[in-house]
Amino acid sequence: MNATSRARPRWAMSAPVALAIGVLWNVVGSPAAPVAVCDLPIVRLGRVRHDADGLRAVFRIRNAGDEPLEIADINSGCGCMSARAEHRLVPPGAEGGIEVDLNLRGRRGAFRREIAVRTNDPRRPLLSLRVEAEIEAPYELDPPSVMFGMLAPDQSATQLVRLALARPGARILSAAAAAPWLSVGAEATPTGWLVRVVARPPFPPDSWLSDRITIATDDPAVSNLVVGAFAIVGPVLVVLPRELTVARGPAPPVHHLLLQGAGAERTRVVRVTAGGRELPRRERRLEDGSLQVAVPGAALEGLPNGTLLTIETDPASPRPHVVVLRVAPPGR
């Protein structure tokens, strides 16, 4: 052996062996997974008219991984956009499209909206996309539609719509709705026009209401505007649970009843009875207007299976409600 050379340690390995082990480590240490990639996450539509038909933005989603990519959910976060995936499952090395249709009526000026795409990519499960445009319109409507939300069958509600007309001196000639459940009026303001929309009861319980409001102006570019109006009419009152299971035991628990619905906020409980006797109770008003009624389990001792528990309310509240008591066997 040359005096200047050194003996290789026993643990040393050749370069090919080290390379093979490194490759094996990468394979084992990096499990197969999909990888969602969007090379152009922002679509700029430029200047567009508010009433343009067929406005669409398309994003290409590429799967750079080695497992199928699943498009689990798409949230546009705006009623002016409707998004859908061309394919819910994108194979490795392939790509699919996210198509976003836009309705920009009633909007004007700079438009920027995000679309959130949820996938099974473990490293980046949420992919953020964006649509940008500059909207040209002879008017601006805020909001572009009237949403009353949840109403009680006898509940009135008012929504305000602000209309700004681009032409100086342009006026609203009339504002009306065909449906009898809507009342519409308009008045001039220093910055434009204010349209007051009132939902007038009574409404049928458990129903969905929709109608169109027509606004006529003296501006030839905006002769007639159509605004949608929507409301959901809920039940007057719902008591949950509908059946109350009473467990027998040395320390019976407190049972909670929840009164919710469109009329819950104005509900006042007078008494709670079962089996011909009035039961003790505690009440608590929740932030959403629901009413929680607590009945001690000891007060329900001795009541037979199928007993009706009645929640009686004052005359100004919705009608009384009944809960069926189910008596569980001992030890349950």
Residue 20 neighbours by CB under 8 Å, 6+ apart: none
CB contact burial 91-106 (16+ within 10 A = b; e otherwise)? eeeebbebebebbbbb
Average pLDDT over the chain, rounded to an integer: 84
Least confident interval from 14-23, 173-182, 318-327: 14-23
* Residue (of 90, 211, 78, 204) closest to 146 by Cα position: 211
The pLDDT assigned to 251 comes to 76
Distance from C-alpha of 80 to C-alpha of 135, rounded to nearest angstrom: 13
For the cut 60, the answer to whether the pLDDT of residue 332 exceeds it is no
pLDDT at 39: 95
Q: What pLDDT, on the 0 to 100 scale, is given for residue 209?
A: 93
Structural domains for the chain: 36-136 (2.60.40.10), 139-233 (2.60.40.10), 238-327 (2.60.40.10)
Arithmetic mean of pLDDT, 73-78: 84
Greater confidence (225 vs 131) lies with: 131
Looking at the chain, the number of H-run helices and the number of E-run strands are 1, 26
Percent of the chain residues past pLDDT 90, beyond the cut: 46
Q: How much is the average pLDDT of 5-13?
A: 50
Give the pLDDT score at 29.
52
pLDDT tens-digit series, residues 245-284: 877 667 778 889 898 876 778 788 888 888 888 999 999 9
Gap between the Cα atoms of 30 and 102, Å rounded: 40
Query: How confident is the model at residue 1, as a pLDDT?
Result: 47
Task: Provide mean pLDDT across the span 82-96.
Answer: 94
Write the pLDDT tens digit of every residue in 157-197: 999 999 999 889 999 999 999 899 999 999 999 989 999 99
Confidence label for 25 from pLDDT (cuts 50, 70 and 90): very low
Q: Please state, in angstroms and rounded to a whole number, the distance separating the CA atoms of residues 145 and 142.
A: 8
pLDDT at 63: 96
pLDDT of residue 155: 85
pLDDT at 11 over 50: no
CB 262 within 8 A of CB 151: yes
pLDDT value, residue 327: 54
Whether residue 22 is predicted with pLDDT greater than 90 in this model: the reply is: no
Q: Say if residue 226's pLDDT is above 50.
A: yes
